[in-house]
Structure 1
Amino acid sequence: MTTSTPEPTRWGILATGKIARTFAENLRATPGAVLAAVGSRSQESADAFARDLGDDDTRAHASYDALVADPDVDVVYVASPHTHHLEHARLAFAAGKPVLCEKPLTMTRADAEALFDAAGSLFCMEAMWMACHPLVRELRARIEGGELGTPHQVHADLGFVVGTDASARMWDPALGAGALLDMGIYPLTFARLMLGPFATAVAVGDLGADGIDLDVAIAARHRSGAVSALTTSMTSASPRSATVATSRGLLSLPADFHHPAHAVWTPDGGEPQRIEPPTPVYGTGLGNEALHVQECLQEGLAESPLVPRSQTLELLGVMDDLRRQLGVRYAADAGAPA
């Protein structure tokens, strides 16, 4: 008896910035993945991207419309700035293409609801690659299975010194700049994965002269009764680590916790135990995200069981509220309560 090998998944990448390049590099290490095409706002940029990161068959399109219309593209990865995700995902859906869209999915929960409505029965997933990482999945399974005891507290931090010469999306409010949406989403998601849905969250922070959040601290309670303390920064070389404290011990993830090389479980009164990823990590971990999307498409799913639509909407709603507390507003907030 023979088993058929699935056809390769042909990816189209929309936009050619830093995250798009990193994703394309990871596709090279992802089983069953092919970079079929790339789309940019200029032919020159698309040609350079295809030449550097594709192969002889990778097509370079001088517009996003041409990319999503390419009949040899099976799924579109939207890698444009946050503020353009809704527009660009809708382009792909109108062309009948499933979408993996960079995080945050949109600027607000309301826009994410509109994006999912546009997707309908087409597959759509926010690109929260941390949730697809083999070790993070393993730790979550052990916690949910009760092996490590009942989790009661999470501490998680993600921050970097972002130079003034960084890309405009990191500093320009018109492109959704700020620590919370770009980096704070990781500690928030980690706490959600380990402790379950949020009940309430409060934030304090420091804003820049142009109104974007530079440093944020969040205290949250989850519906389970567990609590989390989360921080994010654009100004500091912060620890970028995470811990989960349970009724039986402490689970520690060193920097960088959002794509961990290992974790350490220290049972109360016992010796530390190192936990390794149970399956291969492809590339930097973005390859595992791509592989998960491919598996979802092969199974005919409209949403990911690892990054379900309901979780994406919940976290965007939490960030909407945190931004209101901080006094951070974007154009997408027009009409929302002050």
Structure 2
Amino acid sequence: MTEGKTPGPHWRLDWPTSRGRRVASANLKTQVEDFQVDEILDFFPAQSDAQAVTGSGEHLCLRLEKSGDNTEFVARELARMSGCRAFDVGFCGLKDRHAVTRQWFSIYWPGSEAGDPEYIARVAERWQVAGAQRFSRKLRRGDHQGNRFIITLRNVRGSREQLDEALVQLKQSGAPNYFGPQRFGHDGNNLDRAASMDPNAMDSRGRRGKGKKRGGAAASKNVLYFSAARSWIFNEILARRVDDGNWATPLDGEPGVAADPEVVTGPLWGDGGTAATGLQAALERQVAEQAPELLKLFSTTRMKPERRPLVARPDDLTWEWLDLDCLQVAFSLTPGQYATAVLSDLFELEDMSLGQHKKR
């Protein structure tokens, strides 16, 4: 049995917490309104009249409030309603389906400004339109500055005093910046697929298999599995750092990131493995080599190794007890950080939305 894995399921999908244990348990997403997400995109001004389009450009951008529909489904529907290609609808990130989410979409609709009000009215029949803006380019993944979460946890079980103390510590020190388990599929199915992939299914840039059509379903799945493998290796290395008690402390050989050379990071594996050196590189390679079935995927790619912070720091963290066993927390995270992963450092969470809906 490979280190870091447990029998049934094959892949570890629950990683150690910063305190060595969780201080409480709670139900997540009991109601759709219990999980609210506001995308932060500060280059669009606040608007008092969502139906009035401001700005200029070939792309019509709409801020939509939705629940029950995933981001990619909404993007496809917006493309169908406008007559553009699905590829020509952009968004900054995928948002939870079983939640109330507000996010921006861009629709490539050049020379159609006169038709904006009619199109917006049609969209408003499906989703609430909270903003409208013309823009010069398509929105792309990671364009946003982050997300603001308001999360209501129900049936909270544990010491309120200990939980309040843990929340204070979370506000001060952050939490391990794990990738969320949804990235790995049900019981790690995405990792199973990654382990069985032909390394040649990814081209030298790690984006598309040879002979695959651009944007094809098979190529998209390969990228999904490749990303899952990369993320799982990161989580395993972070887990080792958490176990060792140095997940928030730089080690010898820490390469940092361009924006903040002092930040503590872990590897997003690539050609050559890791950009770290010295003690940190030795630790990262030792952990990653315990999953040779995943490392083989990087043997034929030329994807540059990247770094990801090991610490997720929730900004403007506040909390309020709505009842004896009902807690509401609010905080902001930068793109690519998971609210559920942050909360899982304190809570044993039961996601009440699982199995309630078929995937749309």
- TM-score between both structures, scaled by the size of structure 1: 0.27
Give the structure with higher Rg (CA).
2
Q: With the length of structure 2 as denominator, give the TM-score of the two structures.
A: 0.26
Question: Which structure exhibits the higher relative contact order, with contacts defined as CA atoms closer than 8 Å and separated by 6 or more residues?
Answer: 2
Q: Quick check: which one's helix share is greater?
A: 1
